[in-house]
Structure 1
Amino acid sequence: MFTTTNAVGRLVCFVFLLGCWASFPGLGQAPPASPLARTIRLNNPTGTLGSVLAEISQQTGLSFGYSNDVVAAAAPVRIPAGPQTVKSILDAVLSARGLSYTLLDQQIIIRKKPAATKSKTITFSGYVRDAATGENLIGVTVVQPGTGLGTATNTYGFYSLTLPAADTVRLLVSYLGYQQAQWTASGTGNVRHDFGLPVATNELAAVEVVGSREEKIVQSTRMGTINVPITQIKSLPRLFGETDVLKVLQLLPGVQSGSEGQSGLYVRGGSPDQNLILLDGAPVYNAAHLFGFFSVFNADAINNVDLIKGGFPARYGGRLSSVLDISMKEGNMQKFHGEGAIGLVASKLTLEGPIKKDVASFIVSGRRTYIDILARPIIKAQLRSEGEEGSLGYYFYDLNGKLNWKVSPRDRLYLSAYTGQDAFYSNSRREAGETFDQSSSELGWGNLTAALRWNRIINDRLFVNTHFTYSQYQLDVGVDQSSRYRVNDELRSDRFSLSYLSNIRDLSLKSDFEYAPNPNHYIRFGGQFIRHVFRPGALQSNDNIGGVSSQINTVNRQLGNEANLYLEDDYRLSERLKVNVGLRFNSFVIAKKLYPSLEPRLAARYLLTEDWSLKASYARTSQFIHLLANSGIGLPTDLWVPATARIKPQQAQQFGLGAARALRFKGEDYELSFESYYKPMRNLIEYQEGANFLGNTETNWEDKVTSGNGWAYGGELFLQKKSGRTTGWIGYTLAWSTRCFPELNQGRLFPYKYDRRHDASLVIIHKLKDNLTLSGSWVYGTGNATTLAQGRFSLGNSQDNYQDYGGRNNYRMAAYHRLDLDLSKTKKKKWGEVVNSFSLYNAYSRRNPYYLYLKEGKVDAAGNLEESTYKQVSLFPIIPSFSKSFRF
């Protein structure tokens, strides 16, 4: 059972919630009565239909919309005298004439009642795409104006909308950054129609802050979900000129970076392994390059980014903290196109185009650093000056590819792949006659993913996506040393070699069904089977020292099978209440040990007014894999291991409560949201004191770890401006994250390493001109927790001093804050465009702490020992960078 801890912290969090709640004007008040329920008295109950409608409008402020061909304004009417509701008056004067009406905001739409037909409903379905490229558009709103009935396209751009049958039906299609499209259909049968949306001519429309979806935050049932447009990601400041998806996500409330410059994600008090990162449906187990300073995602190859922090829909599972769902571009179906960039540390190029126009397309994208190439002459010269020959370097690369084929109007195939690798290498040789010393070492890690997906429209209301995926993450460490030397005129040789490998591989088959029977229901269901192959560590060691040989060969391989089924429904219970309710069943089998898990999911939205909504959510989650994280500075030596008969799966519950409001100020739109959460976690694992991934390699990893529980809770405030020449957001998080392990810290509660009480961000993107953009971001965070010695002691007459560390994570580093700036100018060319960007990372050169070390005191001239002190190491001062990107 989950236990409750830190009552004072929860009380403060609750007070914070009440404070934010109280600051929202009108919250908690009863929703206003409908204008149709208002009682009025007509001055002239007998007259024409037009005069009655005009008098209702004068007394109530309501306006009427109708066609003169439908409403005969000169027709005589007679209304009983006395006070009546607006609804009763309209029912009396319109129903008898075969007319119906709908209230939309402050306007009443009058239309003919639909004629009786053989079919009571019509289903409209199809795809919505970019008119220029053929790229499917995700989250496009498709509505019937005047009724409030509508839907949104799914991850593959497909929509299905079932409406009451009528002689003519009009659909309105809208998506931020694109021109709206309208279409009128006639007839009574089901209709298949695809839309092609042109990009909006107003360039400002392409610079949207978080949320490229048309659905307002007030209307959505989902909590903790943010969509990040690629245009925004490319507009923000960058480190070393590299656009980074994950660093943009770190600017959102509830998301932390961990350490200076790191691209890792710590979401709502969780650890990096608790984030499910999907690239075209395939999991990515290590999303970091350059020891965590860059992510593996090339923004030029990405179409859509969704981050879910809480209220997880039932279709997602396997992690406790978040889901990061990234979709690659599909390739331009109309014409050949390319883009790329040249930066200080890396360059990239993306090419896409049709294989057969409107039938098949491709996209390939590559990126590589050239730090090793630029530094090679300097390093070789330095080694030669020390009497050695050799080299030392580091590089990383990414390759993305995707094929897209329209097999038929109802079938579509996608084949996508990604591979990326980091490599650090060092070799040196020193010779003196017949003797020499030679050494080489390599450290490499990388991902490989592949996904084959088949979309099929089974019928106008039922869509299915089946995909087969492969994913691998692997770490390789290699060391080889040899020497030849003389001992008493005898020439001897020694050699030592070590190879260490750790990896995880997944094979997965999954089918997802989407069924839209009517506008009040959107049902999803499906299942998945995953075959996990874990190799936490395989060590080979050979040595021949002084003529004595020894050999170590250990292999640790484990197999696990994971299966799940889910069902969820996005259900509109009334005009004000909408829920997303689901159930997920997970199971994991390893070495004949079965771990079943039943996970209910619920998210609800209640509209107080058209601009205010309350939201609540609950999710139970389980995770069958663990990450053994070494305490350090981001080396890729963290190992993926499974739940076993001894190590139980991680489990969590997350409760959420919040409010959202749509604001309009001086003609521009804003969105304000507040979310609070409470997340108890259990069966977390950590290394035992003093253990690590290479120590005592003959010991099973299960003997090196200990299990415990964790708690995370807090509140997040988010205000964003989504349109206009100046866009941006303000985010603030007040949070707690604690852990308790019986075998660590004497069983006492301690703060998680990345527990931050306060976290704030300010982001501004401003269009100085149509071709000139200035952006900036400022972040502030409470310092990370760390463990420092608080004193020394000795035992008996021993001369050895021992350090007393007190509690785990007993000290806070200095607060972290940083300002980044970027100025980008676009130049139009005959063949395309060029964007020159100049960025300043850490613009006021704040010396933020990276880690602390103990500087031992020295003995002075009088024989007294000086006091030992901790010194701070900072990583990045102000760093200017320049990049040039291009499109053709």
Structure 2
Amino acid sequence: MSLLKAQIPTRRFTVSGYVHETGSQEALIGVNVYLPGTTTGTTTNTYGFYSLTIPAQDSLQLAYSFVGYDIVSRTISLRTNQTLNISLTPGRALTEVDVKAGRLTNKVSESAQMSSIDIPVSQIKKIPAFLGEKDVLKVLQLMPGVQKGSEGQTGIYVRGGGPEQNLIILDDAVVYNANHLFGFFSVFNGDAIKSVELIKGGFPARYGGRLSSVIDLNMKEGNREKLHGEGGIGLIASRLLLEGPLTKNKKAGPRSASFLISGRRTYLDILAAPLIRAQSGGTLTAGYYFYDLNAKANYDFGPKNKLYLSTYFGRDRFYANDTDESTDTGLSWGNATATLRWNHLFNQKLFSNLSLIFSDYKFQISSVEKSTQGTDTYSLFYNSGIRDFSLKYDVDYYPTPQHSVRMGLQSTYHRFTPSAVVLQNAGINQSVNNVDNIDVLESGIYAEDTWRPSNRLRLNAGFRLSYFQQQKAQYIRPEPRLSAALTIRPDLSIKASYALMNQYVHLLSNTGIGLPTDLWVPTTDIVKPQQSQQVAIGVAKDFVDKGVTLTVEGYYKAMNNIINYKEGASFLLINDPTSANSVRWEDNVTAGRGWSYGAEMLLQKKVGRFSGWLGYTLSWTQWQFAELNGGKPYYPRYDRRHDISLVGIYELNKRITLSATWVYGTGNALTVPIGRFGTYRASNTLVYGGDPALNQLLFQNVRTSDDYGTQKNSFRAEPYHRFDVGIQFHKQKKHHERTWEVSVYNLYNRRNPFFYRLESVSATSTEAARTALFRYSVFPIVPAISYNIKF
């Protein structure tokens, strides 16, 4: 009888629901949902949904935990499937006592994913920033494995990859150029961002199309309970965000809706215009500004269907009008994205999302010269860009606590415009309209499973099949992925990962610093897809009583079919109207390979009155092209041997927050002149004597050239380091909270190198004339003050 009873299978039921933030009903991503004292649990997905199927029990305790929020526990009787929606309350200034009580619940040692970093947006807003402008990408630069670009730039170089090898997505939409002000600021307004995640390796199969990293950003959904706003006034820009419910009910119900709109604009043009006009005598009008706009709306059609519409639009514009010279010049670039998403819950175990996505990046140059009669005598318009229409469908399936399955597909129709030139010259009656659109299709299908075969082993195994079609080319590439974590102790695990990635879009750049003049081009029958293979191994340790996590990783990445310009080539020459019809951009690039390897360490504390991190990177990166540097390997510009970042935030009390960062990096690898020589051609006049005027006649034609040597990037710039500090003064009023922030960028006035140039030094009474290499810096010590308000 007892044997028959033992063979009766245990009935299982599912508890599922959504986790939101108290006070706003904002969906929370990555919340841990678990049975205390066991290894059984799951996490919420991008939309705050969770599902857990477990054996029936009369009394079951569930815990919900998330960094920066109070832990919530619920005791339920699980004798049938249940829906349980939870709200978490943001924690205040967390103390060490809170941490020891078990607040550190997002353990890195428990996750199969490695090479992944998420930073709370609330923490990003406390870190001192250049000119007071909080910047998501600049904070990511402070992480190990991420190399910084030039001084002040937001360029992201991850594990030996270039800026074009980063997949930057905002609410599922790809952002192709994430820079404002030629790279000194990013396009992401921190007020509108809910979450930020950086993945450097061990990529889940749901991501594809880039070699080096994924930067996944999600916008806030909008407060569902009350009207809320926040904004700020800084030295160069101001911003404002409004969010609130669209339905009459004050609290989120079965049918609720909300909106969010956020805008930011710089006023550099307004401040500089009077000065420019005064210095030019009133003949020159010039300026520069950027702006961006985020908007989002969502509507719940009941417990099973939700609709989201999110958009982003941003633009940079430089203009100059010279009435004296009768010229009008302009330069602009910008992104536009839109995402329409439909969530559908088939049942408590099956969740789906359908996305329709639009992304458009444009770069434009214009130059117009007018005659004295006011008609155009010469005009040049250059346009370049890339436009995407995408369909994406994803399914999340939670069959058991041991399996979490994701499947999906995505197809993107790209239209590249690498050259669009309109030239008109009334003097010679010439008009050229060269529009060279390239249409391609890029698709992918994937499946991945986060599997826990035992209490000690966790796996994320996935497979992606990518497909690319261009007029003369077609590629089908398999992309296997695997990440694993083996638990040695409850707070210590060993991790390993492998990922194969393919990239079908390329960025041609002569500068390597991500300027808007860089050119996006597709894979063709001549230019093959880029491909990388990366392996990594490491350890993850949680110091639960201290609220601290430690990760140490080593990696090796090999890259094939990376492209670069041939010596002396440029798309500006390729697109010259006189030769655009006969010269293809494919003929001006060369393909090669690269490899990168190194070690990274991150010691991070996300909670408590004192928080921050220490990051260190030791790395080597080399490239090799048959037609560059004599076919020998060389270090690319952003290769750095050592990189250190130290970030600290201290909540002195409820009214004062202190913060500081210190960064150090080995100098960039550059190609600079090692000498200068001149060629002199004598005149036909015979000169006798030492008359200076006659000698000037004798050497009337002088040509100088710089000698760059034979090795590419053989010069190392001086090390880069700086120290930033900030202090915030908070004051809570009856209906609003205001914050004054004072920060200092580069406190000890380090003159970091921006570029080098050979220049002639005149003779003095003690030294002969000579040629010397000069270092130029951009930013000395830069103080800033800003005012922020929440209501």
Q: What is the TM-score when the length of structure 1 is the normalising length?
A: 0.82
Q: Specify whether residues 602 and 252 from structure 1 end up closer, same or farther in structure 2 by C-alpha distance, changes over 3 A only.
A: same
CA distances 1:687-707 after superposition (whole Å, capped 9, x unpaired): 111122211421221122111
Question: Which residue in the other structure is 1:418 paired with?
Answer: 312
CA distances 1:153-190 after superposition (whole Å, capped 9, x unpaired): 01100000010112232211112222222222225221
Q: Alignment partner of 2:547: what SS?
A: strand
Q: Specify whether residues 711 and 118 from structure 1 end up closer, same or farther in structure 2 by C-alpha distance, changes over 3 A only.
A: closer
Confirm whether residue 378 of structure 1 aligns to residue 241 of structure 2.
no
1:244 positional shift: 0.6
Of 764, 784, 790, 1:881 maps to 784
1:794 positional shift: 7.3
- Aligned letter for 1:330? E
The structure number with the bigger radius of gyration is 1
Give the distance between the partners of 1:691 and 1:315, measured in 2 at CA: 37
- Aligned letter for 2:115? G
Q: Alignment partner of 2:572: what SS?
A: coil
Give the distance between the partners of 1:561 and 1:756, measured in 2 at CA: 36
Question: Which residue in the other structure is 1:688 paired with?
Answer: 566
- Aligned letter for 1:663? F
Question: Which residue in the other structure is 1:612 paired with?
Answer: 492
Confirm whether residue 661 of structure 1 aligns to residue 541 of structure 2.
yes
Of 288, 293, 303, 1:399 maps to 293
Of 229, 242, 247, 1:338 maps to 229
CA distances 1:698-747 after superposition (whole Å, capped 9, x unpaired): 12211221111111111001112333221111110000111111111111
CA distances 1:13-45 after superposition (whole Å, capped 9, x unpaired): xxxxxxxxxxxxxxxxxxxxxxxxxxxxxxxxx
Structural mapping, 1:98-177, within 5 Å: 120-177=11-68
- Aligned letter for 1:539? V
Of 65, 75, 79, 1:184 maps to 75
Structural mapping, 1:633-644, within 5 Å: 634-644=514-524
Q: Specify whether residues 536 and 716 from structure 1 end up closer, same or farther in structure 2 by C-alpha distance, changes over 3 A only.
A: same
Of 329, 352, 360, 1:464 maps to 352
Give the distance between the partners of 1:371 and 1:256, measured in 2 at CA: 29
Confirm whether residue 351 of structure 1 aligns to residue 248 of structure 2.
no
Percent of pairs identical after alignment?
48
Q: Specify whether residues 480 and 169 from structure 1 end up closer, same or farther in structure 2 by C-alpha distance, changes over 3 A only.
A: same
Give the distance between the partners of 1:616 and 1:727, measured in 2 at CA: 28
Give the distance between the partners of 2:321 and 2:558, measured in 1 at CA: 48
- Aligned letter for 2:557? K
CA distances 1:342-366 after superposition (whole Å, capped 9, x unpaired): 0000000000000013200000000
Tell me how large the CA RMSD over aligned residues is.
2.4
CA distances 1:744-772 after superposition (whole Å, capped 9, x unpaired): 11111110100000000111111111210
Q: Specify whether residues 162 and 439 from structure 1 end up closer, same or farther in structure 2 by C-alpha distance, changes over 3 A only.
A: same
Structural mapping, 1:121-520, within 5 Å: 121-202=12-93, 214-356=105-247, 357=249, 358=252, 359-384=256-281, 388-430=282-324, 437-484=325-372, 495-520=377-402
CA distances 1:272-325 after superposition (whole Å, capped 9, x unpaired): 000000000000000000010000000000111111011000010000000000
1:788 positional shift: 1.8
CA distances 1:490-531 after superposition (whole Å, capped 9, x unpaired): x99982110000010011001111111111111111111110
1:383 positional shift: 1.8
Give the distance between the partners of 1:805 and 1:752, measured in 2 at CA: 16
* Ranges in structure 1 where 5+ consecutive residues have no aligned partner: 1-95, 99-113, 431-436, 485-490
- Aligned letter for 2:204? P
1:867 positional shift: 2.6
Question: Which residue in the other structure is 1:75 paired with?
Answer: none
1:797 positional shift: 8.6
Q: Is the 8 A contact 2:66 2:106 kept in 1?
A: no
Confirm whether residue 868 of structure 1 aligns to residue 771 of structure 2.
yes
User: Which consecutive aligned stretches of 4+ in structure 1 deviate over 3 angstroms post-superposition?
Assistant: 114-119, 201-205, 491-494, 632-635, 791-802, 857-862
Q: Is the 8 A contact 1:119 1:188 kept in 2?
A: no
1:115 positional shift: 11
* Ranges in structure 2 where 5+ consecutive residues have no aligned partner: 683-701
Q: Is the 8 A contact 2:221 2:296 kept in 1?
A: yes
Q: Specify whether residues 372 and 644 from structure 1 end up closer, same or farther in structure 2 by C-alpha distance, changes over 3 A only.
A: same
- Aligned letter for 2:360? Q
Q: Alignment partner of 2:131: what SS?
A: coil
Q: Specify whether residues 122 and 632 from structure 1 end up closer, same or farther in structure 2 by C-alpha distance, changes over 3 A only.
A: closer
Question: Which residue in the other structure is 1:710 paired with?
Answer: 594
Structural mapping, 1:798-837, within 5 Å: 800=703, 802=705, 803-837=707-741
Confirm whether residue 532 of structure 1 aligns to residue 423 of structure 2.
no
Q: Specify whether residues 201 and 778 from structure 1 end up closer, same or farther in structure 2 by C-alpha distance, changes over 3 A only.
A: closer
Give the distance between the partners of 1:333 and 1:117, measured in 2 at CA: 47
Confirm whether residue 673 of structure 1 aligns to residue 555 of structure 2.
no
Give the distance between the partners of 1:801 and 1:865, measured in 2 at CA: 18
1:847 positional shift: 0.3
Give the distance between the partners of 1:401 and 1:594, measured in 2 at CA: 37
Give the distance between the partners of 1:812 and 1:374, measured in 2 at CA: 38
Give the distance between the partners of 1:734 and 1:373, measured in 2 at CA: 44
Give the distance between the partners of 1:653 and 1:755, measured in 2 at CA: 19
Question: Which residue in the other structure is 1:765 paired with?
Answer: 649
- Aligned letter for 2:394? D
Confirm whether residue 743 of structure 1 aligns to residue 627 of structure 2.
yes
Q: Alignment partner of 2:125: what SS?
A: helix
Give the distance between the partners of 1:323 and 1:633, measured in 2 at CA: 19
Q: Alignment partner of 1:248: what SS?
A: helix
Confirm whether residue 574 of structure 1 aligns to residue 454 of structure 2.
yes
Q: Is the 8 A contact 2:574 2:585 kept in 1?
A: no
